[in-house]
Amino acid sequence: MKGCATAPVGRLERLVDQTLERYRLLAEGEAVLVGVSGGPDSVALAHLLADRAPGLGLRLGIAHLHHGLRPEADADEAFVCRMAFDRGLPFFCRRADVRSRQRLHRLSLEEAARRVRYDFLEEVSARHGFAKIALGHHADDQAETLLLNLLRGSGRLGLAGIPPVRDGKLIRPLIMARRADIEAYIEARGIKTVADATNAEESFRRNRIRHRLIPTLERDYHPQVGSLLGRTGLILRDEEEWLESLTLPLFEEALAEADDGWVALDAAALNRMHVAAARRVLRRAIRQVKGNLRRLEFDHIERVAALTQHHGDAGPLYLPDRLRVWRRGAWIEIAAGEGRPPSRRTPPPADYAYTIFGCGALHIRETGEWLEVAVMSADALASPLSASPQLAFLDLESVRFPLTVRNFRPGDRFAPRGAAGTQKLKKYFSDHKIDRIERRRCPILLSEGRILWVAGHRLDGSGAVTASTRRVLRVERRLAKP
């Protein structure tokens, strides 16, 4: 390696290897794009991965974004280009107008630069076939982020900080290392870097946390507070991922409809949840619309949650980054942008339940549909398998009146005819791509609490007509009065 003295494996190398293994950040033979600004963190990362590339069969590339924000930007670009050349790695660079992005989207300068940088890295990785993007965030960044979000009043998600891997693509191999570990590595190997003077400007809150708050905590309260905060962030991040996996089924239960830049949630479903679960579902919905949760605070989520208790239409609420939220009918609608709100979809019907005491026609007022019930002889039945999914034939001996007709409830299970065992109705709907409006409309026929027929979709095996059946219950689902 040109310009670098050989040195024994040190603490930073061990931490990086542990992080790569623990979070499975890299697979053998992968192509990795390394974002390099020229500062110590990203330069150290580039050298560390370059040293490991032969053993792992990695294909590396170096990417640098010229922000045009500092007089030294030209020199930084030339430095990173030279470093890539010395390591024999392909170099990708772009010059960006961050201030125009800032004005266009009404962002802080820091946020605009961050978005431009990530867009650039994503574009290069897609165009040149890089499976992973490696970034130089480390444990001190984790500690600063945790404190920054704590002072903003963030909840558990904000305190979880920076993930070691995001979306299976963005990886941070230095996330368990301290800034001091990186500096020791750089110094021991004589690696050159560039300095960013803005990192010392205390007009930025993060810099004040870095240069004032953390040193005070380390001096007066605990000498390893940075390490402790970094570790806390990783623990909370692991727990956050687990909690998010528990949130997904709740989100699917509440999701009424979705489109590009628009999500509608069932307000009644949100109200049935524990308040902590409802907040998580709302955050997940906002992230689906917005792409992230940046600038969203606890008060924003609480204001949206309050709409679930509102009677009648309300809104819109205006949230950061041009996000708007309404209560319209039974739905909480979240939309991005400033154009006209999306046209009103047909809301899902409310919960309904009816009792059938005998033959005749039942009108389901909530959906406008009808169920017609009749008894017939088995001899008059050509085939128990109807050609129409809206028609069901049941062995009358397996049926006990009165019957119940209602729509879906959480926890519903049935034994689909022809399948082994029982299945959650929710899973059946999901597996068969039944949209959420139909899930709420669909009449379910029950006898003594047992599902006999998911109207229009599937019979339960317990009521099937057999060769010994003498009398048949015929049930038909109709959109018009029979």
Query: Alpha-carbon distance 110 to 347, whole Å?
Result: 41
pLDDT for 270: 93
Residue 78's alpha-carbon distances to 73, 83, 84, in angstroms, are 9, 9, 10
How does pLDDT run across 90-126, given as a tens digit for each residue?
999 998 888 887 777 777 777 788 888 999 999 999 9
In the predicted structure, residue 277 carries a pLDDT above the cut 90: yes
* pLDDT score, position 341: 56
Residue range(s) in the chain whose domain bears CATH number 3.30.465.60: 260-336
Element (DSSP H or E) covering residue 316:
strand 314-319
How many angstroms separate the CA atoms of 338 and 438, rounded?
Answer: 30
What is the pLDDT, as a whole number, of residue 41? 95
CATH 3.40.50.620 domain span(s) along the chain: 11-233
Q: Is pTM beyond 0.85 here?
A: no
130 vs 169: CA distance, rounded Å: 9
- In this structure, which amino acid lies at residue 326? W
Superfamily the domain 353-478 falls into: Phenylalanyl-trna Synthetase, Chain B, domain 3 (3.50.40.10)
Task: Report whether 317 contacts 325 (CB < 8 A).
Answer: yes
- For the record, the structure tokens of 36 come out as 């390099």
Q: Residue 387: its pLDDT value, please?
A: 55
> Which alpha helices (DSSP H) does 132-192 contain, by range?
139-152, 156-159, 179-189
State which H helix or E strand residue 459 sits in.
strand 458-459
**What's the pLDDT score for residue 6?**
43
> Rounded to whole angstroms, how far apart are CA atoms 92 and 114?
17
Q: Inform me whether the pLDDT recorded for 62 exceeds 90.
A: yes
- Side-chain-side CA neighbours of 94 within 13 Å: the count stands at 15
Nearest to 35 by CA among 130, 140, 154: 130
pLDDT tens digits, one per residue of 135-182: 999 999 988 888 888 887 767 777 777 889 988 899 999 999 999 999
What is the reported pLDDT for 343? 56
What counts of helices (H) and strands (E) characterise the chain?
16, 22
- What pLDDT shows up at residue 7? 43
User: Is the CATH code 3.30.390.30 the one for domain 11-233?
Assistant: no
Please list, in sequence order, all residues whose beta carbon lies within 8 angstroms of the beta carbon of residue 127, skipping any fewer than 6 positions away: none
* pLDDT, position 9: 63
Share of the chain above pLDDT 70, in %: 93
- Is the per-residue pLDDT at 4 higher than 80? no
**pLDDT at 347 (0 to 100):** 66
pLDDT tens digits, one per residue of 201-230: 776 788 898 889 989 998 999 988 888 888
Residue with tokens 């002072």: 151
What is the arithmetic mean of pLDDT over 279-308?
88
Edge-to-edge strand list for the sheet holding 403-406: 353-356, 403-406, 444-447, 450-454, 458-459
41 token code pair: 């963190």
Q: For residues 44 and 41, give the distance between their C-alpha atoms in angstroms, rounded to a whole number.
A: 5
Query: Can you say whether residue 261 is alpha, beta or left, with left for phi > 0 and alpha for psi between -120 and 50 degrees?
Result: left
CA dihedral angle for residue 52, residue 55, residue 58, residue 59, rounded to 10 degrees: 90
Any bridge partners for residue 132, and if so which?
32
pLDDT bucket at 286, cuts 50 / 70 / 90: very high
**Confidence bin at 1 (pLDDT 50/70/90):** very low
Query: Are β-strands 59-66 and 91-95 bridged in parallel, bridged antiparallel, or unpaired?
Result: parallel
61 pLDDT band, cuts 50/70/90, is: very high
* Cβ-Cβ contacts under 8 Å for 323 (sequence gap 6 or more): 286, 289, 290, 334, 335, 336
Q: Are 43 and 36 in contact (CB under 8 A)?
A: yes
Per-residue pLDDT reduced to its tens digit, 370-420: 999 999 988 877 665 555 778 899 999 989 999 999 999 989 999 998 888
Task: Answer whether 217's CB lies under 8 Å from 150's CB.
Answer: no
Per DSSP, the three-state class of 358 is coil
- For 249-268, the pLDDT digits (tens) are 899 888 888 877 889 898 98
Please state, in angstroms and rounded to a whole number, the distance separating the CA atoms of residues 20 and 52: 11
Residues 315-345 have pLDDT tens digits of 788 888 778 898 888 889 998 876 555 555 5
Say what the pLDDT of residue 319 is.
85
Element (H, E) at 262: strand 262-266
Please report, for residues 157, 219, 289, 410, 436, the alpha-carbon distance to residue 305 in angstroms, rounded to integers and kept in the order given.
Answer: 17, 42, 17, 21, 21
Report the alpha-carbon distance of residue 256 to residue 331 in Å, rounded: 8
Phi and psi (nearest 5°) for 147? Answer: -65, -40
Specify the amino acid at residue 283: R
Which CATH number does the domain 260-336 belong to among 3.40.630.30, 3.30.465.60, 3.30.465.10, 1.10.1060.10? 3.30.465.60
Residues of the chain within CATH 3.50.40.10 domain(s) are: 353-478
